[in-house]
Structure 1
Amino acid sequence: MALQPRGSWQMPPGMTPPKEPMFNLPTSVMVLAGIMLAIQAAQSFFLSFDQREWLILSFSFLPVRYGAAAQVFSFPGGVLGDIWTFVTYAFLHGGWMHVILNVVWMMIFATVIVRRIGNFNFAIFFVITAAAGALVHLVIHFGSQAPLVGVSAVLSGAMAASARFAFNGGMGGFSGLQGVNRYPCLSLKGLRRNPQAMGFLGIWLVLNLVFGMFSILGGGATIAWEAHLGGFIAGLLIFPYLDPYSRPPRKPKPPKKDPPKKRPDHLKVIK
């Protein structure tokens, strides 16, 4: 009788092997990608010109909303729209090339961050990096009528955040992005001393500057490198506060002292 090698395993007869998922991605990333693709499909195939215009005015980030024009023209959403567009612009895109490129990058870098910090913390990360990108864009383009759209600010923040742990703990190159890296993230000082991390961030900054100056997306919209930079800085700075592997453990509370016991009346000394 032939012996099976030690540690080998054979599937019993009649049992079918488990099916691997087509996309091994977190559900939150797939939901975000589905929403962005659905919005782009609606813009391209179902909405009229007036409806597309309303969508842009309501949910893209328009610096003109915060200038003198806001006193003359009533933008959809009013004051609440002035707030929510700091985030909702990330779900809109300037064309199919724009949305597909961003979805691909989101599947890479957002997946890494979600697996590291979880869905709830990633939602916070998404809001902060999107808002930071819009804020930097607003400061530089105050009063501009050109709408800001796209999730690139969040992706820039995710790339910056991933550099703080992907090259830490003896991980070689990008192998730290595979699975869940449980090493604490690098401090800013440690980041500066890590040549792999600094090279990764430096390449991103140079490419972002070059593409921001000379590249044009589908639909004629220039790349908003300022928003990318805002998201990048925010992601780099806030990540340790959302990372469960980097936050210092809470100090245990000191035990409560029992109140002093009162001496029974019959033991009181009468002077």
Structure 2
Amino acid sequence: MRIPFTIAALIASFVAVQLSLVLFPDYERALLFHFALFPARVLGDAPLAGQSLLGVLNLLSYGWLHGGWGHCAINSLWLLAFGTPLARRMGALRFLIFYCACVVLAGLGQVLVSSDAMQVVPIIGASGGVAACMGGALRFAFIYRGADNDGNTPLLPLRDIPRTRPVLMFILIWVIFNVVFGLTAPLLGQGEVGSIAWQAHLVGFFAGLCLLRWFDAPPRSPSGGPGQVPYGQWRQ
């Protein structure tokens, strides 16, 4: 399977950042402080008041930090699985803009629902962006199996999701799993360290599911050029 350049570059950047944390442990705290996402910083609350501009930048930068090699590997594998069909369909630039936009929305969603106790707890990880890829891919990759996912297959309309049993079941299972796992993980961990940003997962997933249409490449005609030719009218 040929990996799209954008996917390979994103995974390489995840690995590079994680490697820098390992090679330069003395700077780990500084990197987390400046590039992780802190709700208090975004909202301008104490003790990080006056850092709102950095907080806005952190809505994107947090997606390149991970809590260890395991965290980095899991997100990289899921990005490879769900980001690949999207990148092939959308093209490099469209996919990168889509991915970054969903990372920002996922982080913002997590910030807005964070409790007072979580205001200065760093949020890190690419899970929100990866979940967005999962939500986006759900609108075509699981419906038209065996077809080319290169822009020729039509997107499943949002209004048809309640009538499409496999997609609806996937969404319900995904939501239930994240809510249950997110609420029980702190009980298994130690204080805030055991917390899971499950709200960011959900926001990212539904952002990808709903926003894909705005970033999707125009369908191609039988000649290979762009055109509004319904898939079923010409594909044999």
Determine the structure 1 residue equivalent to 2:233.
none
TM-score (norm 1): 0.72
Q: Could you tell me how far 1:68 is from its partner in structure 2?
A: 2.7
Whole-Å Cα distance in 2 between the matches of residues 96 and 182 of structure 1? 37
Cα 1:179–1:240 change in 2 (3 A) is closer
Whole-Å Cα distance in 2 between the matches of residues 181 and 215 of structure 1? 39
Q: Could you tell me how far 1:180 is from its partner in structure 2?
A: 3.1
CA contact (8 A) 2:218 2:227 kept: no
Determine the structure 1 residue equivalent to 2:123.
148
Bigger Rg, which one: 1
Determine the structure 2 residue equivalent to 1:62.
38
Gaps of 5+ in 2: 221-225, 229-236
Aligned length: 217
SS at match of 1:68: coil
Determine the structure 2 residue equivalent to 1:235.
208
User: 2:46 corresponds to which letter in structure 1?
Assistant: A
Gaps of 5+ in 1: 1-22, 251-271
Determine the structure 1 residue equivalent to 2:84.
111
Cα 1:113–1:218 change in 2 (3 A) is farther
Determine the structure 1 residue equivalent to 2:174.
204
Picking from 35, 41, 54, the partner of 2:13 is: 35
Whole-Å Cα distance in 1 between the matches of residues 115 and 227 of structure 2? 42
TM-score (norm 2): 0.82
Q: How does 1:205-224 map to 2 (within 5 A)?
A: 205-215=175-185, 220-224=193-197
Q: Could you tell me how far 1:71 is from its partner in structure 2?
A: 6.3
Whole-Å Cα distance in 2 between the matches of residues 88 and 63 of structure 1? 14
Picking from 20, 43, 55, the partner of 1:82 is: 55
Deviations 1:199-246 (A, max 9, x none): 222222122222212236999442200111111121111101111246
User: 1:119 corresponds to which letter in structure 2?
Assistant: A
CA contact (8 A) 1:94 1:218 kept: no
Whole-Å Cα distance in 2 between the matches of residues 163 and 179 of structure 1? 12
Cα 1:206–1:236 change in 2 (3 A) is same
Whole-Å Cα distance in 2 between the matches of residues 71 and 155 of structure 1? 28
CA contact (8 A) 2:91 2:217 kept: no
CA contact (8 A) 1:209 1:225 kept: yes
Deviations 1:146-194 (A, max 9, x none): 11100100111111111111244xx24xx56x75362210111112211
CA contact (8 A) 2:85 2:141 kept: no
CA contact (8 A) 2:36 2:122 kept: yes
User: 1:68 corresponds to which letter in structure 2?
Assistant: D
Q: Could you tell me how far 1:67 is from its partner in structure 2?
A: 3.8
Determine the structure 2 residue equivalent to 1:45.
23
CA contact (8 A) 2:88 2:150 kept: yes
Taking only the aligned residue pairs, the percentage that are identical comes to 30
Q: Could you tell me how far 1:98 is from its partner in structure 2?
A: 0.6
SS at match of 2:171: helix
Instruction: Identify the range of structure 1 (189-198 vs 61-70) with the bigger mean alpha-carbon deviation.
Output: 61-70
Higher helix proportion, which one?
Answer: 2
